[in-house]
Amino acid sequence: MRRFEGRVAVVTGGAHGIGRASALRLASEGAAVAVVDLNREGAEETAALVDGDAAAFVCDVSDPDAVAGTFARIRERFGGIDVLHSNAGVLVPGGADATSVGDWDRTFAVNVRGMFLAAQAALPPMLERGRGAIVNTASTSGIAAEPELAAYCASKAAVIGLTKQLAVDYSRRGVRVNCVCPGWIDTGFNDPVLEGVSDEELQGLIDRMVPLGRQGTPEEIASVVAFLASDDASLVTGHALVADGGLTAL
- Vertex 58, ends 55 and 60: CA angle to 5°? 140
100-121 pLDDT, tens per residue? 999 999 999 999 999 999 999 9
62-101 pLDDT, tens per residue? 999 999 999 999 999 999 999 999 999 999 999 999 999 9
- What residues are labeled active site? 152
184-237 pLDDT, tens per residue? 999 999 989 888 899 999 999 999 999 999 999 999 999 999 999 999 999 999
- According to DSSP, residue 214 is labeled S
pLDDT at position 171, please? 98
Homologous superfamily of domain range 8-241? NAD(P)-binding Rossmann-like Domain (3.40.50.720)
Predicted model pTM: 0.98
DSSP secondary structure, 13-82, as one string: TTTSHHHHHHHHHHHHTT-EEEEEES-HHHHHHHHHH-SSSEEEEE--TT-HHHHHHHHHHHHHHHS---
Please report, as a single letter, which amino acid is at residue 50: V
